[in-house]
Amino acid sequence: MWGQGAELVGLITPLLQFGAREIILLSLGGLMLAFMFWSLSSSLNAPVARRQAMSRLRHYIDREENLSPLERMLDRAEAEMRGSKSAKARRKADLLPTVTRWINNSSNAFLNGMASDLTRIGSNWRPSEILYAAMALAAFAFLVFGVGLRMMALGLGTAAAGFAAPFMVVKFFAKRWTARFENQLADTLLLMSNATAAGYGFQQAMEMVAREGMPPMSEEFSKMNQEVRLGVPIADALMHMSERVKNRDMTLTATALIIAMEVGGAISEILRTISETIRERVRIRGEISVLSTQGKMTGGILSALPIFLFFILNVVTRGTAGPGEPPYMDPLFNGKEYPWGPRMVVFGIFSQVTGYMIIQKIVSIDI
């Protein structure tokens, strides 16, 4: 065991013999990462509920009948935020205001979708801070693998993976939140249908769901009730909830309820019909998911197999080259002596990604 440890140290020691350029780059990178994480940590407990409520109510500030009470409420909230004495509270206001304003005014669908996902899952993080964290992880990975271990190809790959990781995490939590919401929607509509059939009003049924329901359904109905109590029409509150959730079933429900409120109709029967439709769609979607699981696993295994084989061959063939012979994997990365090696690597990565996307497109059936 001690011999293996000494051999590992002997392999790593030549990689850590930095020159002046590497030392300067590592020092600057370390200072930059320290500043990034120090700045980012100040925003983890940002007042997200107040920020979301204020952003939802901005649309109604210009209404003349709602101007005075809403303006007083917003002025009081902003005065409390400005009046905080601690430096930590002042840093919580916004970490990157310029980037935040650019993202809010941007028409990019990806950035707008990320902002909606963060709002939906109730995260304290802003889109600018997610972008900031992605850049920090990418820089850290490149400094460790590209500059520290002097493996430029691995450094670029890990930097790309580190940059994509925060966005993938946000998307994962957003999908999990959406799945929970979809599973609760049919039962919630049936509960509201029974409540309205028993004599409750529609707003009383919403309050019952917000009080007795389970998250995330209760949280969304609680937000809608807060808007209604502040003077927002029920139809607008329903559309706001549909825009936040970004679920087709909820959009269908909101549209049907708004039409029923405008032209008249039995809301109880409408809710019951929509509940049955959604329940059937969820059942069919579950069956399709089970049947397509094999295709999804096949695509993932086929995509990961070349990467797995590359690392296995790299470990097995280490030290097998004779005197004066290049390492086994050298033709793939030594572009000076083997010009087609790096091109084949790039083409292989492109082919793997394209094949994975095609397989996922085939097995993804939209209901």
Question: Pick from 241, 231, 224: which is nearest to 70 by CA?
Answer: 231
| Contact assessment for residue 97 and residue 103, using Cβ atoms and an 8 Å cutoff | no
Q: For residue 338, is it within any domain?
A: yes
Cα separation, 44 vs 69, in Å, equals 31
Could you give the angle at which helices 48-57 and 217-229 cross, rounded to 10 degrees? 50
Cα separation, 25 vs 2, in Å, equals 34
Question: Pick from 178, 174, 182: which is nearest to 284 by CA?
Answer: 182
User: What is the tally of structural domains in the chain?
Assistant: 1
Q: For residue 237, is it within any domain?
A: no
DSSP assignments along 182-218, one per residue: HHHHHHHHHHHHHHHHTT--HHHHHHHHHHHS-TTHH
Q: For residue 122, is it within any domain?
A: no
Cα separation, 277 vs 269, in Å, equals 12
Q: For residue 291, is it within any domain?
A: yes
Cα separation, 163 vs 73, in Å, equals 39
| Structure token pair of residue 273 | 């019909």
| Contact assessment for residue 127 and residue 117, using Cβ atoms and an 8 Å cutoff | no
- Looking at residue 74, its pLDDT comes to 57
Q: For residue 288, is it within any domain?
A: yes
* Whether pTM exceeds 0.85: no
Q: For residue 235, is it within any domain?
A: no
| pLDDT in 10s for each residue of the chain, 367 residues | 455 445 544 444 544 555 656 666 666 666 666 666 655 554 444 444 444 555 555 555 444 444 445 555 555 656 665 554 443 444 445 556 666 777 767 777 777 778 788 888 877 788 878 888 888 888 888 888 777 777 777 778 888 888 888 899 999 999 899 889 988 999 999 999 999 988 888 888 988 998 888 888 988 899 899 899 888 898 899 998 888 888 888 898 899 889 888 887 788 898 999 999 888 888 888 888 888 888 888 888 888 888 888 888 877 887 777 777 777 777 887 777 888 888 888 888 888 889 888 888 888 777 6
DSSP assignments along 9-33, one per residue: HHHHGGGG---HHHHHHHHHHHHHH
**Host domain of residue 333:** 282-367
Under DSSP, is residue 321 helix (H, G, I), strand (E, B) or coil? coil
- Looking at residue 79, its pLDDT comes to 60
| Chain position carrying tokens 């979809």 | 182
- Looking at residue 160, its pLDDT comes to 86
Q: For residue 366, is it within any domain?
A: yes
| Structure token pair of residue 104 | 């809010």
| Contact assessment for residue 301 and residue 352, using Cβ atoms and an 8 Å cutoff | no
Question: Pick from 261, 262, 242, 260: which is nearest to 251 by CA?
Answer: 242
- Chain center to CA of 354: 23
Q: For residue 262, is it within any domain?
A: no
